[in-house]
């Protein structure tokens, strides 16, 4: 029901894979504007629907890779860190 940093999901996004993940806060925060599909962790049956939706989603892999590159690429993260250090 909680996770610190979902590294496996970020790695999957970097590879442009479809992502199905629980709707815990950290997943929602990181993937809110992405093609990731969420399921309700309190309703295990919702996982089935989420997987079916992910399978049926066209071009999700390319969109996921674009999403990752726009939010988490080395250059984007470096710019965010520079901004933090300059404004600290």
26-65 residue pLDDT tens: 999 999 999 999 999 999 999 999 999 999 988 888 899 9
Please tell me the predicted confidence (pLDDT) of residue 48.
Answer: 97
Measured between alpha carbons, how far is 22 from 73 in angstroms, rounded to an integer?
23
pTM: 0.83
CA distances from 53 to 32, 40, 73 (A): 16, 14, 27
Please tell me the predicted confidence (pLDDT) of residue 58.
Answer: 86
Measured between alpha carbons, how far is 37 from 88 in angstroms, rounded to an integer?
36
Q: Which residues of 5-15 are buried (b: 16+ CB within 10 A; e: fewer)?
A: ebeebbebbee
Q: How many CA atoms lie less than 13 Å away from 38 in the CB half-sphere?
A: 16
């Amino acid at each position: 029901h909680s996770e610190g940093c979902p590294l496996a999901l970020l790695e999957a996004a970097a590879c442009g894979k479809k992502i199905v993940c629980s709707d815990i806060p950290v997943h929602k925060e990181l993937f809110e504007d992405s093609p990731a599909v969420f399921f309700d962790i309190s309703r295990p049956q919702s996982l089935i629907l989420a997987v079916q939706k992910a399978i049926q989603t066209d071009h999700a892999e390319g969109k996921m890779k674009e999403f990752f590159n726009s939010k988490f690429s080395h250059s984007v993260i470096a710019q965010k860190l520079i901004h933090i250090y300059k404004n600290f």
